[in-house]
Amino acid sequence: MLEQEIWGNTVENWVISIFIIVGAFILVKLLSLLGKKVIKPFTNSTTNRVDDIIYYSLESPIKFAVILLGIWIAIHRLVYPDSFVKVVDNAYRILIILDITWIFARLFSGLLQIYWGYKSDGKTNTMMPVIKRTILVVVWIIGLVMALSNVGVNISALLGTLGIGGIAFALAAQDTVKNIFGAFTIFTDKPFSIGDTINVNGSEGTVVDVGVRSTKILGYDKRITTLPNYKITDTSIVNISSEPMRRVTVKLGLTYDTTPEKMKEALDILRNIPQRMENVSDNPSDITAVFTDYTDSALIITYYYYIKKQGDILKVTSDMNLEILTSFNKAGLDFAFPTQTLYINKNEPVNSDTYTVS
């Protein structure tokens, strides 16, 4: 039975080839176990990060190479037409070059992440994703060109063909090109970093990623807004994280029966409140309380104060509003609300001509 031939090869040879392939997968599993139990714990225990990068770079490509080798041995011990063998050999030449390229891509990616991924202050480098992706694209293009050249493809003729098509492609990809230049503009100007809170055309949130094509912002509603890079560079950007303090404006309306003395007392209360509040600047130059307007139903006080960078904006604002309300109530200061006064002439019947409203 083992001597029976199937597609020009005996059953015995087919079985041996299948066992070789199965053995290659078993060897990959053993290598994975060795890596998890021995090599990775060792690299994690050292202070040097380079050995972690080397392990990361080699782990998956070596497993893939073992599987390729097993399949190659299994195929080449069988009898096939020369044309099929040539196709397999060419495919393997390409796969081997791409596997080596994979090692270099992972190596460069890991080294960039460690040595250039973070600034001296610990913040993520804004353009790290862009530079990383650009380098990976270049590495893979070089690897692909070498792989094609290794199987006899005329690279010069191929590049000439691509050059003609590249013109049409460039015209169709103008926005993509603008986005790439926008990414490098963000890198050079550094208007923000990943992790900063910014406002771009009303879209406010935290920058979570800067890519080659777009920038992603996580809004306060936990939704991701994706903005093209060229639109970001063409508009004004408010970097909220860079502000040393946040100014808050409050409009307070007091009733018209407020005396000048009570008005002065209200202004003094407002100027003194920051001195007893946490995360509010008590510098006199940062506090403004002025009587600014007469409106239809209120005397308006305009009040400015500054919340320190480390303070929670919503909590501090709420605490300040509560303190203002408490202090004004204790001082007998009444807040105004829209009112109307009706004057009636008692000597005449009430009609539309005998009363006025003010």
Structure tokens at 227: 């903005």
Amino acid 22: pLDDT: 92
Second-level CATH architecture of 190-241: Roll (2.30)
pLDDT along the chain (358 residues), means of 10: 67 85 91 87 81 84 90 82 81 88 86 68 62 81 84 68 55 65 75 85 85 85 87 84 88 93 95 93 92 92 92 91 95 85 65 46
What are residue 130's phi and psi, to 5 degrees? -65, -50
pLDDT at position 357 is 45
On whether the CB atoms of residues 109 and 116 are closer than 8 A, the answer is no
Rounded-to-integer distance, Cα 348 and Cα 319, Å: 53
pTM (whole model) above 0.75: no
The whole-angstrom separation of Cα 74 and Cα 17 is 4
Q: How far, in Å, CA of 37 to CA of 57, rounded?
A: 18
At the top level of CATH, the class of 244-331 is alpha beta
**HSE, side-chain direction, 13 A CA sphere, residue 218:** 8
Q: Supply 355's token pair.
A: 């009363």
Neighbours of 60 (CB within 10 A): 14
Contact indicator for 316, 279 with CB cutoff of 8 Å: yes
Tokens 């610990």 correspond to what residue?
Answer: 122
Alpha carbons 26 and 7: distance in angstroms, whole number: 27
Distance separating alpha carbons of residues 197 and 207, to the nearest angstrom: 6
